[in-house]
Structure 1
Amino acid sequence: MSSPRTFAFTVHPRARLSEDMARVWAPLGHVPERVYATALRRLPVPPISMAAIHIGGSQVGHVVLVPFGARHLLAEPGAGRDRVHRAVDKARGLGCSTVGLGALTATVTGGGVSLRARTDIGVTNGNAFTAAIVDDQARMLLDHVGQLGSAHVAVVGATGSVGSAVTRLLARDRAAGRLTLVARSAGRLDALAAEVGRQVPAVAATSIEAVADADLVILLTASADALLAPQHLRGGAVVLDATQPRNTSPDLVTVRPDVLVVDGGVVAIPSLRLVGGNIGLPDGHAYACFAETALLALSGHDGHFSIGVPSLELVDHTRALAAEQSHLGFQAAAPTSFGRPVDLATRTLAVA
């Protein structure tokens, strides 16, 4: 194994800009939302090193904030891409050898494709380990209810980078009895359904309504066209939501108390601490895309890793890296729903 490296992980403000900017410096939370909405879009605000990353008691990297909100990144992907490229420059300036692309910073760079020509820093979109963790969580949920290998599983965002890998994993190991694959691109969707249909029965659909009789819905797209609503789900359904920004609301379980929503793609790294800011998770927890970047740095990886759609070989490789670093954790976190611990046996949340 090569010597450990340092890494950076890029993030951006999500739905409420003032709330997320307060993670950088508490007084920023008092700035009106409308001021941020205008200022972050129009002013050349530089990327910000918002937190130092510590694992195992040592500093191993930095969280770099891209000062562009989620709505801005979706509405102005070209400008957003430029902001992400500047954040990667910042990461290199901090001495990092690898940078991971968090949330929509991966989306606007085509899963890192627009950064492929860089030779001064390795890039990963984190989607290989994300697919591994979501697959692990899906199997855990299905096994808990005695449906591993027999359940009807719907994957929303099936043709995306994570979605296609998760779909192939479920089919390869026959973890589902049948699959409903939902995405907007009919051509790619039909091809994926035909591919995995050789292993498990699979159908393709371009409407979210197709998940109506699924036992487990795996949500892997933040598209505004795929908002999961109470009427879309059958009685007793389980939703594994691995979107960031997420595509479910706490109101869903209020209106449909029979439905269980589980937070997807969260990894336990007990010694993880962010000093100077946070990314919306408690100490000891990280998103799987973050964890993939950490695994690469800790293992001494050089160069790019997961760019675009990850192959199953890359997914399996991240599992091997996680096994090597198992003394630090790097396992799927205990199940939570909107951040609150959930008892799968009773399908109840911990009291707030």
Structure 2
Amino acid sequence: MSTAAPFAFLVHPRARIAEDLARVWRPLGRVPEGLVDAAVRRLPLPPYAMSRVTLDEAPVGHVVLVPFGARHLLSEPHEGRARVSRAIDLAARLGAGVVGLGALTATVTAGGATLRGRTDIGVTNGNAYTAAIVEDQLLDLLAGAPERRVAVVGATGSVGTTLVRLLARAGSVDSLLLVARGTARLEALAAEVGGRVPTTTSTDIHDVRGCDAVVLLTASSDALLGAEHLAPGALVLDATQPRNTSPDLAVARPDVTVVDGGVVAVPGMDLRGGQIGLPRGLAYACFAETFLLGLAGHRGHFSTGVPTLDHVEHVRGLAQRFAQHGFAAAAPTSFGRPLELPAAVR
């Protein structure tokens, strides 16, 4: 039987770089954002082991900071890949058997596909468990809803493609609207799943106004979804990091329910050192996938590129195997605050 092995998980500053880096070194929170942004972009800053992960007080892994912001990763992907590679080198030196790609570190490496040649450490993008948890959350939100017209924004990405396949396999929604930039990939995915659930495609986010629920899975450094895009009473499940909704949306549209997506409860987990923007005992699903692989003593690569449904079932099996530690969708929150769901979506 495999025994647990240390894991590592990569993170990076999001939209507000100074604020995020202040979780590692508090004085940075008092430095002007523009100055910190320029320093992070221009200086050859090394990766940093920002926190140690513990489970029931026992050390199990590390969080490694990639010192490059969200906008930097998207606008300078070559440099971004180089910085991710150096962070993985550090993870290997820390003794990790598998490393997870957090947020846009997955995007700039094509979901880890560009890292498949590494033999010193396993890589996973965490997207199999993310798709599984988002599906669980979505179906919970839609339980009892009179209509289940669902839009998936970022449908042709790694998580989006897997989620669409899961929803089509389950036959749990009335229709799907797939939204992404590239028409060819959209049409191919729609043709694949259209025989199981009525499916349409669009490259225009305004078209989600015809849907009851919107799942956000796009790779963007800024808020993308606005009040003008949504139908009355719409449900929004934002599983993006950096997130694609703003708290202003809840103010402008009090009829809309915005739910934080892809968050997993692991009550005995703690981070000793810098935090990653979630309360103690909560983890992003991509982090939780890496955690589960570490607990299982997994060796080699796991989910790179687009996860298969077999990947999803395997990681769901691991979550059941280690269920004594939690590993289930967290109680619903909206912008980090506990959410009392309307009666219609309980």
TM-score bin (small chain):
over 0.9
Q: How far apart are 1:347 and its partner, in Å? A: 8.4
- Using a 3 Å threshold, how does the CA distance of structure 1 residues 347 and 80 change in structure 2: closer, same or farther? farther
- Structure 1: which 5+ residue stretches go unaligned? none
Match of 1:270?
267
Matched, 1:134 2:134: yes
Calculate the aligned-residue CA RMSD, in Å: 1.4
Paired with 2:38 and 2:214, the residues of 1 have a C-alpha distance of: 36
- In structure 2, what is the equivalent of residue 184 of structure 1? 181
The amino acid across from 1:293 in the alignment is T
Q: What is aligned with 2:32? A: 32
1:196-231 CA deviation, whole Å, 9 max, x = no partner?
Answer: 111010001111011011011001103379811111
The question of whether the paired residues in 2 share the 8 Å contact of 1:269 and 1:329 is answered with yes
Distance 2:195 2:221 in 1: 31
Residue 48 of structure 1 is matched in structure 2 by: 48
Match of 1:80 in 2: 80
The residue aligned with 1:117 is 117
Structure 1-normalised TM-score? 0.96
1:314 aligns to 2:311 (yes or no): yes
Question: Distance between the aligned counterparts of 1:225 and 1:283, measured in 2?
Answer: 26
1 CA distance for matches of 2:238 and 2:179? 14
In the alignment, what sits opposite 2:145? 146
Q: How does 1:218-297 map to 2 (within 5 A)?
A: 218-223=215-220, 227-297=224-294
- Normalising by structure 2, we get a TM-score of 0.97
* Identical positions, percent: 63
In structure 2, what is the Cα distance between the partners aligned to 1:57 and 1:126?
24
Structure 2 contact 107–219 (Cα < 8 Å) conserved: no
Q: Is the 8 A contact 2:222 2:243 kept in 1?
A: no
- Amino acid corresponding to residue 85 of structure 2 in structure 1: H
Contact preservation (8 Å) 1:41, 1:72: yes
How many residue pairs get aligned? The number is: 345
In the TM superposition, what is the alpha-carbon distance from 1:31 to its structure 2 partner? Answer: 2.0
Preserved CA contact (<8 Å) 2:129 2:289: yes
> Structure 2 unaligned runs (5+)?
none
CA distance in 2, matches of 1:169, 1:2: 29
Q: Are residues 63 and 347 of structure 1, via their aligned partners in 2, closer, same or farther at CA, if it must alter by over 3 Å? A: farther
How far has the Cα of 1:346 moved from its partner? 5.0
Q: Distance in 2 between matches of 1:224 and 1:31?
A: 21
